[in-house]
A and B are shown apart, each in its own frame.
Chain A
């Protein structure tokens, strides 16, 4: 039985998830050169916002009605927290040395995790999340696509396209590019840079909420710790693709996801590498790839093209 198509689908859906979260890292970095380590927690809060919305809906609501509402509910929660974090944690430190906002971000990440752990009902254990019912789609004998995988594989490119159009065509999007290139000059041209920065945080948070809903639908559970590992992976994806570049985030995510799933499946088949294969080593191989890419292209796969970083 040929495993390859199946592992490619696994890698793509994992990668699309990384990519959606990576957008948040890359947009914020592109504009204020801040690595927002609390973004993994913004993702987590999006998940809990979506779960709260789902629980508030009358029982028996069909999932296709519930999902758009859950995305909206999750996005409201994550955007609210992200903009509040920007306003109260990062903006006061905007002119401080670079390390201060970085440490603040780490502190914020711990704070958000513990707040959810302490105050969300029953969040000390994993909370179960609605899932698609029904069998996976069987394409061939060796390839089947889970409904949740299909959901993210369709939604992620749509989100990316919408973001691409927004950044390159809309007035606010162009203002965003201008701010990324040179905040001071942008301000002189009458752009409200504070508003643009808030917008970058908000867009990243909304994407994270979409990713969190996809994550919940696929795993059937969310938990207060879910943002930590995924946040690190998404940050890696952003660096791999070229931090500051929105398309790079998606490309980096997909490459990272494929690297992980293929290394789990195939490294151990290489003679003499049996010990270095399997799930235990997938992160190692993903980072080996990252190092190799950065050695050859320090600016990341798509590079930090200043012109359209935003």
Chain B
């Protein structure tokens, strides 16, 4: 008997913990029940992001920012007769989870648009599901060019694979080239060691960077790859030191990037590590006590703190009482959510103040035409669903903080 009760205790504990991992996303109550009273319609904006796991700091920022957009729209009665709410799902940065979430969102009739995901690799698995259901998706953070321009974008053949896919983040083509130009021209580095994490985002960015750096006349002295979730990169760090490179470019995310930079510096090679928006996070600097001064990152847009349009967003976010900061993609997530709200507004206005029966297709169509002044600047989409906003900023670590050193509009 005693043994049986122990067994039950253990299984309850285990089950409890398993449930914990899945919680935080139980807002399934469909809005359609509300239709009867007062004529108000509920429109759900799905959010898919890594809400747990090592990228959860970014994911929570995305979810909270969309939540803020929705609350603002409800407060201002942005779309008369329509109440917005969000349904946040956790993909843990795993492509298969993203696909399952996409299927779930498609299954909820009230979902008319989805913001997310964070990772390009996850997006690849979600696009098809959304396209089949005519459901619009706006990613605040995907930067892989193939997502909107097709697999052969590198050869100059641009073909939009999914008409339902939009993004408020600029692509890696813009970011990688911008980084190469800064490192070669502004920072005067000629010999770079390129490391990536083999993921869709990291490997793609590193390849674009390398091509542009070589085109400018720089030299890629060697390359290496690291594995996500590992923490000991000392062998790679020693290769960097032995190669005599004067700088390192890292295509990947901050958990690995922060450690790689620290371990390179520990070998005694005092050279800067540069990366994309994936490493532009305070956690990159706080990865360990080793100083990161001189490290560089590019990120999309002008610094949110410096845009007049963003001041209200930051004030509202802080007033909203969110537990986690808005992080790197907060502004883009707010704009992504707001773009969907604007599209719904246009659709409702064109249909005598009511949602049409084919609302999803109409919203997707309207999304291609939205244009408004958002947190991150002018928000609108080109014929591929990419943002027309190509502003970028280079940030540098100084005194343990990311400081913006150059902001520019990329053209070419």
Contacts and interface: CB of A to CB of B under 8 A. Distances in A.
A49 interface: no
Given A92-B6, A220-B289, A261 B259 contact: no
Interface of B: 3-4, 6-7, 9-10, 13-14, 16-18, 20-21, 52-54, 56-57, 195, 198, 223-227, 229-236, 238-239, 242, 255, 259, 262, 266-268, 283, 286-290
Given A88-B9, A111-B14, A280-B198, 6 more contacts: A104-B14, A107-B17, A126-B54, A128-B289, A144-B267, A264-B236
Contacts of A223: 54
Contacts of B18: 107, 110-111, 114
Contacts of A126: 54, 255, 283, 286-287
A88 B235 contact: no
Interface of A: 1, 3, 6-7, 10-11, 13-14, 88-89, 91-93, 104, 107-108, 110-112, 114-115, 117-118, 124-126, 128-131, 133, 135-136, 142, 144, 146, 215, 218-221, 223, 225-226, 228-229, 260-261, 264-265, 278-283
* Main SS class of interface, B: helix
Contact of B3 (A92, A107, A260): A92
A125 B284 CA distance: 11
Given A124-B56, A219-B232, A223-B54, A279 B238 contact: no
Contacts of B4: 92
A283 B235 CA distance: 13
A41 B372 CA distance: 49
B10 A89 contact: yes
B290 A131 contact: yes
B56 A3 contact: no
Contacts of B286: 126, 128
A260 B231 CA distance: 13
B20 A118 contact: yes
A299 to B, nearest CB: 29
Nearest to B237: A10
26 contacts: A6-B238, A14-B234, A89-B10, A92-B6, A93-B7, A114-B18, A126-B54, A126-B287, A128-B287, A130-B289, A131-B290, A215-B231, A219-B259, A220-B289, A225-B53, A229-B230, A264-B235, A265-B235, A265-B238, A278-B225, A279-B195, A279-B225, A279-B226, A279-B227, A279-B235, A283-B227
Nearest to A106: B14
A133 B233 CA distance: 20
Contacts of B231: 215, 219, 221, 226, 229
Contact of A125 (B9, B57, B239, B289): B57
A305 B6 CA distance: 35
B288 A128 contact: yes
Nearest to B238: A6
Contacts of A117: 52
Please give me the 9 A-B residue pairs with the lowest Cβ-Cβ distance, nearest first: A220-B288, A111-B17, A280-B225, A264-B235, A107-B14, A261-B235, A278-B224, A131-B289, A92-B6
A135 B290 CA distance: 11
Nearest to B52: A117
Contacts of A110: 14, 17-18, 21
A14 B235 CA distance: 10
Contact of B223 (A112, A115, A144, A278): A278
A10 B283 contact: no
Nearest to B236: A279
A264 B232 CA distance: 12
Nearest to A129: B288
A278 B195 CA distance: 10
Contacts of B235: 7, 10-11, 260-261, 264-265, 279, 282
Given A92-B6, A220-B289, A221-B287, A136 B266 contact: yes
A94 B54 CA distance: 35
